[in-house]
Amino acid sequence: MNIKKFIIGLFILTLSTTGYAQVSSKKTLTLDGAMKVISAAVDYAKKKNAPGAAIAVVDDGGNLIALERLDGTFAAGSNISIGKARTAALFKKPTKGFEDIIAKGRTSMVALQDFTPLQGGVPITLDGEIVGAIGVSGAASAQQDEEIAVAGANAVSSATPSLSVAYFDKNKVSAAFAKGAPLIEISNYKVHASRRTEPGIAEVHVKDTDIIYMLEGSATLVTGGEVVDGKTTATDEVRGKEIKGGETRNITKGDVIIVPAGVPHWFKEVKGPVIYYVVKVS
């Protein structure tokens, strides 16, 4: 009896594996993910003082997952934002491309079904796969609609840690150090190839810990204390004129210094071009 059951079980198992082999799996955007996209888009819209925005997030089938219309945005914006998102998802392209094609004379393209060829729809990509799209309508201009959409789409794209290996050859690295530029910025860490020729202003990163390795030059670094005239300049970033109090150190080539998240720091004086490698962990 038991053997019989076992054999039946095996048989079912075989059947089901065959069944699995015929479908492929695909990442899907959750409501949580969609809300993250919308909140990043709203943040951007507010930062840019957009007069309004309706923001829609759809899945890979163009079906709405979440929508928000900011106070004061014209009512028609909701449907237009859904249309833009849907078009970007189903055609797997930013909608601006279609607006451009039509503007250049391919007017008959407007006859396509389920098609809103207006700038402001952008696909949401996860690990190289399009999982949905965001559409924005009701901001200051078509250009701003799109900027808000891009800001939203990036929130999810960068929220997923990349599993691929990042490699920067020495030319790329020295080019980055030559002007002081980020090498990589993803949600859980950032790596900057920093260069400084002049003193800086006081900085506080609310979420990022700075791990600094001095490669060239020397500087006077003030840490701790209080930021004078501190203002929030971006999400989780405070900047101020200078630091009152705190600890002053002279840091030079070869030194490593770690500034925990939330601690003010200020490159008060800089001798020669200072080149330093920074890992920002959040």
Binding residues for other proteins (CB under 8 A): 30-31, 35, 54, 59, 61, 63-71, 75-76, 78-79
Q: Which residue lies nearer to other proteins by CB, 59 or 147?
A: 59
**Smallest separation, CB 138 to other proteins (Å):** 11
Rounded to whole angstroms, how far apart are CA atoms 170 and 223? 31
Q: Which residue lies nearer to other proteins by CB, 148 or 204?
A: 148
Report how many helices (DSSP H) and strands (DSSP E) the chain contains, helices first. 6, 15
DSSP E strands in the chain: the ranges are: 54-59, 64-69, 121-126, 129-137, 181-186, 189-196, 202-205, 209-223, 226-228, 231-234, 237-240, 242-244, 247-252, 256-259, 265-281
**Smallest separation, CB 12 to other proteins (Å):** 25
Q: Which residue lies nearer to other proteins by CB, 61 or 245?
A: 61
**Smallest separation, CB 106 to other proteins (Å):** 30
**Smallest separation, CB 205 to other proteins (Å):** 29
Candidates 44, 68, 56, 40; CA nearest to 95 is: 56
Query: Helix, strand or coil for residue 87?
Result: helix
Q: Which residue lies nearer to other proteins by CB, 26 or 271?
A: 26
